[in-house]
C-alpha cells in the first residue's frame, strides 16, 4: 500500500468510527435526546478531524474543562461564562427569541443573578450600599400591542461603580439587586446607581482563554432585567448606557442596538420617589414590551 492509499484508509476508518458512535445512540428512548447526542458526536468528531486534534491538545481540553468545573460553585458559574465568551449563549437566545418583532429584545443572562433578591416597592432603592452615582430608572411593562401588563414581576441586578456584583463581595451582603411588582398600569420605578463597564471574571480558565486570544474581557455598562408575567414570555435582557465604552466589543456579544438607551444627567435637588439629591444624578426610561406566550 502506498502513502496515498494508506491516507484514504485512515480517513475511512475515522469516518467509520464516527458512524459507529452515532449509531450507538440509535436506541435512545427520546427522539430529541437522540438528535442532540448524535448531532453532538457528529460535530465533535468533525471538529477533531478538521483541526487534526493532537493528544496533548485533547489532554489540555480535558484539564481546561476540569478546572472550569472546579472553580464553579453556587456563587461562580464558569461554564455559563465559557458559553458566553464562545457566543453560544447569544446564539441560543437568538434561536429561541420571540418571533414578534415588537417585543423587547433579549440578551445574555450572565452568571450573577441571584433568586432571592429583596422585594422593593415603587421608588425603592436597589443600591443598598452599592457605590455609584444615583440613577432613577422608570418605565412601563406592556405587551406588544401596548396593553399594560399589570403586576408583572421585574427583577433587576447590576454591578457597582467599580464593576463588582454583590456576589463578588467578600462579606456576603446583598446590594445592587431587587425584585418589584409593576403597578396596575404596568409602571415601575426604582433608584439604582449609574452602571459602569467592567471585566468579566478573569481569574479562571475563561480568563486564561481570553488572554491567550488577546481578547478584551470588558462588558459595556448595563443594568440587567428579568421581567415575567402569566401568559407572557419571560424576558431576560439588559439596558445599555448609550455612549458608553465597549458597546462595540462586548466580551460576551450581548449588545443589541435596541437595548442602548440614553441615561440623562440631572441637576441636584428634588428627585423622584421623595428623594433629595445633593449631587448630580441620572435618569433612564426603559419601557418593556413582553411577547405573548406562544401556543405549544
**Interface contacts to ligand BEZ, rule CB under 6 A:** 81, 84, 108, 110-112, 200, 219, 252
If contact means CB under 5 to 8 A according to the sort of partner, which of ligand BEZ, Fe ion, none does residue 255 touch? none
Give the residue with the Cβ less far from ligand BEZ, 53 or 242: 242
Report the residue number, 84 or 155, with the smaller CB distance to ligand BEZ. 84
To 10 degrees, the CA torsion angle through 194, 195, 196, 200? 160
Scanning 74-82, 106-114, 249-257, 281-289 for contacts with Fe ion by CB under 5 A, the matching segment is 106-114
Residue 200, contacted partner among Fe ion, ligand BEZ, none, CB below 5-8 A by kind = ligand BEZ
Q: Which of Fe ion, ligand BEZ, none lies near 45, with the C-beta cut-off 5 to 8 A by kind?
A: none
Stretch that binds Fe ion, among 59-67, 87-95, 110-118, 244-252 (CB under 5 A): 110-118
Query: CB of 28: closest distance to ligand BEZ in angstroms?
Result: 32
To the nearest whole angstrom, how small is the minimum distance from the Cβ of residue 259 to ligand BEZ?
12
Count residues contacting Fe ion (CB under 5 A)? Answer: 1
Choose from ligand BEZ, Fe ion, none: what does 111 bind? Cβ within 5-8 Å by kind: ligand BEZ
Q: Closest separation between CB of residue 54 and ligand BEZ, Å?
A: 30
CB of 83 to ligand BEZ, least distance (A): 9
Closest contact distance (angstroms) between CB of 161 and Fe ion is: 13
Amino acid at each position: 500500500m502506498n502513502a496515498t492509499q494508506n491516507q484514504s484508509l485512515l480517513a475511512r476508518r475515522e469516518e467509520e468510527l464516527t458512524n459507529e458512535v452515532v449509531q450507538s445512540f440509535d436506541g435512545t428512548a427520546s427522539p430529541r435526546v437522540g438528535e442532540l447526542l448524535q448531532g453532538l458526536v457528529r460535530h465533535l468528531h468533525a471538529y477533531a478531524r478538521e483541526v487534526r486534534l493532537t493528544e496533548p491538545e485533547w489532554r489540555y481540553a480535558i484539564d481546561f474543562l476540569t478546572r472550569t468545573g472546579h472553580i464553579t460553585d453556587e456563587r461562580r458559574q464558569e461554564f455559563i461564562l465559557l458559553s458566553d465568551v464562545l457566543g453560544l449563549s447569544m446564539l441560543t437566545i437568538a434561536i429561541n427569541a420571540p418571533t414578534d418583532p415588537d417585543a423587547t429584545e433579549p440578551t445574555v443572562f450572565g452568571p450573577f443573578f441571584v433568586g432571592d433578591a429583596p422585594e422593593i416597592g415603587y421608588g425603592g432603592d436597589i443600591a443598598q450600599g452599592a457605590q455609584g452615582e444615583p440613577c432613577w430608572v422608570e418605565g412601563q411593562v406592556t405587551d406588544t400591542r401596548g396593553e399594560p401588563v399589570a403586576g408583572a414581576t421585574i427583577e433587576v441586578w447590576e454591578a457597582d461603580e467599580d464593576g463588582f456584583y454583590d456576589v463578588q463581595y467578600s462579606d456576603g451582603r446583598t446590594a445592587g439587586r431587587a425584585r418589584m411588582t409593576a403597578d396596575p398600569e404596568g409602571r415601575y420605578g426604582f433608584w439604582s446607581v449609574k452602571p459602569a463597564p467592567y471585566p468579566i471574571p478573569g481569574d479562571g480558565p475563561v480568563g486564561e482563554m481570553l488572554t491567550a486570544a488577546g481578547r478584551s474581557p470588558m462588558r459595556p455598562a448595563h443594568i440587567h432585567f428579568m421581567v415575567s408575567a402569566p401568559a407572557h414570555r419571560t424576558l431576560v435582557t439588559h439596558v445599555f448606557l448609550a455612549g458608553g465604552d465597549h458597546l462595540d466589543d462586548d466580551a460576551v456579544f450581548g449588545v443589541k442596538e435596541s437595548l442602548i438607551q440614553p441615561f440623562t444627567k440631572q441637576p441636584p435637588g428634588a428627585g423622584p420617589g421623595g428623594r433629595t439629591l445633593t449631587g448630580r444624578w441620572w435618569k433612564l426610561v426603559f419601557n418593556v414590551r413582553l411577547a405573548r406566550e406562544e401556543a405549544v
